[in-house]
Amino acid sequence: MSPRYDRVAIAFHWLMAVMITASFAVGLYMVSLTMSPTRIKLYNWHKWAGVTILTLAALRLLWRLRHAPPPLPPTMPQWQTKVANVAHLLLYVLFFAVPLTGWAYSSAAGFPIVWFGWIPLPDFVPKDRELAEFLKPWHWMAAYALAAVVAVHILAVVKHLLMDDDNLMSRMLPNMTGDK
């Protein structure tokens, strides 16, 4: 059996996978709504989730810097290893870029974030109409870029599962059998 990611890395991966997917879906839905109490709630939940994802990303990065991931199978062609590394790097960059652009946009639009309706977060950009208009597409683009890299990531998983038959995905699956 190939070397596995450690349990903490696995927990970070799946927790963030669920949260990012949910936030992306809520984000797409909420912008289609006209102004309503529901829309305001969704925007706030989306922001809370975004700040949570940002926090998880920071913790996950710290963990990863101290716990090297298991090496990729030596059977993989070098170009694929390179693509995988670049894709993982991009994922980490976007884990930060998407929430940070969203946070900045929210502040610029005059809605400071109060995490879980409880912890007021600082505005690192001023309330500014033009700045808000400038930042809005960057949040969108970053989110779509993240979705695109996640799509590549999933296609690679499918490729390894169906074409390479190297059971690479098991490295990131929770160990259900209880084996060490």
Partner 1 sequence: MELVQAPIRKILAATGVLMLLTLPSLASAQQRLVPAQSEIAFVSKQFGVPVSGKFKKFDAEVTFDPKKVEAAKVNFNVDLLSADIGNSETEAELKKPGWFNSLKMPQANFTSNAVRALGGGKFEFSGKLSIKGITQNVVVPMTLTQSAGVTRAVGSFTLKRLDFKIGDGEWNDVSLVANEVVVNIKLALTGVTPL
Give bridge partners of residue 115 from the DSSP assignment: 119
66-81 CB burial, b ≥16 within 10 A, e <16: eeeeeebbeebeeebe
Min dist. Cβ of residue 9 to partner 1 (A): 34
What is the H or E stretch that residue 85 is in? Answer: helix 78-108
| DSSP structure class, residue 43 | H
Angle among Cα 135, 140, 144 to the nearest 5 degrees reads 145
Beta carbons of 90 and 155 less than 8 angstroms apart? no
By CB under 8 A, is residue 82 in contact with partner 1? no
Out of 7, 67, 127, 159, the only residue in the binding site for partner 1 (CB under 8 A) is: 127
By CB under 8 A, is residue 118 in contact with partner 1? yes
By CB under 8 A, is residue 35 in contact with partner 1? yes
Min dist. Cβ of residue 78 to partner 1 (A): 50
Pick 79 or 118: Cβ nearer partner 1:
118
Pick 114 or 145: Cβ nearer partner 1:
114
Sites of contact with partner 1 (CB under 8 A):
35-37, 40-41, 44, 109-114, 117-118, 120, 127-129, 132
